[in-house]
DNA sequence: GCCGTGACGAAGC
DNA sequence: CGCTTCGCCACGG
């Protein structure tokens, strides 16, 4: 069987996030069938920086639409990237998060 | 090889 | 209504 690890699976889903859209760690975990492993998804994102093709980790935020990962990007890099894609971010909070929310369980389910 | 920690999330108290 | 605890998995010390 394939050597697909949780990380690889996370990367695969994250790379399918359309531009201008965002998703949550829990959503990815849920899509993988391990919604309780949302922490591992975040951990995977940490390693995503060494993954190739690069993973748009800046499009992955927490359930609140809060840029919790921006601290790991360094400064406001994450917000810059999101705004460059048309995502409004105020005070580390994504605006219209529920509209921009890209749920793999829904988008990839069909 | 055990313990602590982490980009989360939901449930419990 | 807000803080605490548990779950999950991987990795560093």
A27-CA/B2-C1' distance, Å: 32
Question: Residues with Cβ < 8 Å from A10, sequence gap 6 or more?
Answer: A28, A32, A40, A41, A44, A45, A48
A36-CA/B10-C1' distance, Å: 9
A63-CA/C4-C1' distance, Å: 19
pLDDT band at residue A5 under the 50/70/90 scheme: confident
Q: Is residue A6 within 8 Å of residue A44, measured between CB atoms? A: yes
CATH T-level topology, domain A6-97: Arc Repressor Mutant, subunit A (1.10.10)
- Tell me: the pLDDT tens digits for A14-61? 999 999 999 999 999 999 988 889 999 999 999 999 899 999 999 999
pLDDT given for residue A28 in this prediction: 95
Domain boundaries, chain A: 6-97
Strand C bases within 7 angstroms of protein beta carbons: 7-11
Query: Does residue A76 carry a pLDDT above 60?
Result: yes
Q: Is strand B in 7 Å reach of the CB of A30? A: no
pLDDT given for residue A6 in this prediction: 86
Q: In DSSP terms, which residues pair with A93 in a beta bridge?
A: A66, A90
């Amino acid at each position: 069987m394939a050597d697909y690890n949780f990380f690889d699976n996370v990367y695969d889903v994250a790379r399918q996030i359309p531009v201008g859209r965002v998703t949550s760690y829990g959503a990815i975990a849920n899509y993988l069938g391990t919604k309780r492993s949302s922490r591992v998804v975040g951990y995977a994102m940490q390693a995503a920086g060494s993954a190739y093709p690069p993973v748009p980790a800046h499009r992955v935020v927490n359930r609140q639409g809060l840029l919790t990962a921006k601290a790991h990007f360094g400064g406001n890099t994450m917000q810059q990237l999101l705004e460059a894609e048309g995502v409004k971010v105020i005070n580390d909070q994504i605006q219209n998060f529920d509209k921009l929310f890209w749920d793999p369980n829904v988008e990839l389910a069909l």
